[in-house]
Amino acid sequence: MCHADETRHYRGTNTYWLWALADNTVSYFMTHYSRGKAAADALLGSFSGYLVTDHFSGYGNVPPERRQLCWAHLIRHFRKIAGRCGEGGIVGKRLLLLAYATIRTHHRWQQHPDQATRYRRRILRLRRSFQATLNQGVALHNCKRTTNQCKHLLKDEAMCWTFLKDDRIPLTNNRAERVIRPYVQWRKTSFASQSAQGDRFRPTVLTVLGTARQLGMNMATLMREVCSQGLAHKPVSVRFPLDQASACNPLQMA
């Protein structure tokens, strides 16, 4: 199971994209000129597990049964809809309440896993209400924007509930947002990259430091050792202490 996200990357004045893929031990980054499906496919490679993302269409080649939409992103959309006037706002408020109830029910189950039967019954009831509210939004005649958003989400509604297939699937994409945040801060205080070499350096160092951070390693010590070996023209012998499961992970590092 992995989390994916993307953010802007600049080479001079040109806009590129930095893509991130992370599981519970490894972070992987790449830069790409595109934010489309070709870039997402290059990021994912032959990955065949569950993928947690926002509702961005670039991940559309991932089968719906293996993709979980982030409920935190859905809540942001529902807040915007809820702020509208008329029937569209009413539908948005209902969707927002259902989203909060879903997350609250899931958290309660995590605290009391022995109540799995009750949890599933409540979640399925919330899902039926969610579907009914989306259909209500689709049927609106005087709020085209809300209608189109509800149609779009209703088409992908199954991806909101993929977490019911596996208890390990989280409801949010927080992991990907956490691993990509250091780069966003770096981007704000730097002058972008100026060459293809810079485009390669940034994702490489982010991959190394991001993985080290997730493994609880001292990043300064790690980089000092790597740089010392490189400057001495020695083979870099530093390896991450990944377990067997991570060693078979599609994110494994060379």
> Which pLDDT belongs to residue 141?
87
What pLDDT, on the 0 to 100 scale, is given for residue 252? 44
Q: Answer whether 33's CB lies under 8 Å from 16's CB.
A: yes
β-pair partners for 14: 11
The whole-model pTM stands at 0.88
- The pLDDT of residue 212: 92
pLDDT averaged per 10 residues, the chain (length 254): 95 94 94 95 94 95 96 96 94 97 95 91 97 96 92 96 94 95 92 90 93 91 91 90 56 43
- Report the pLDDT value the prediction gives residue 199, as an integer from 0 to 100: 92
Residue with tokens 């730097």: 190
Distance in angstroms (rounded) separating the CA atoms of residues 129 and 145: 21
CB 27 within 8 A of CB 210: yes
Domain ranges, ordered by start, for the chain: 2-66+173-247, 71-161
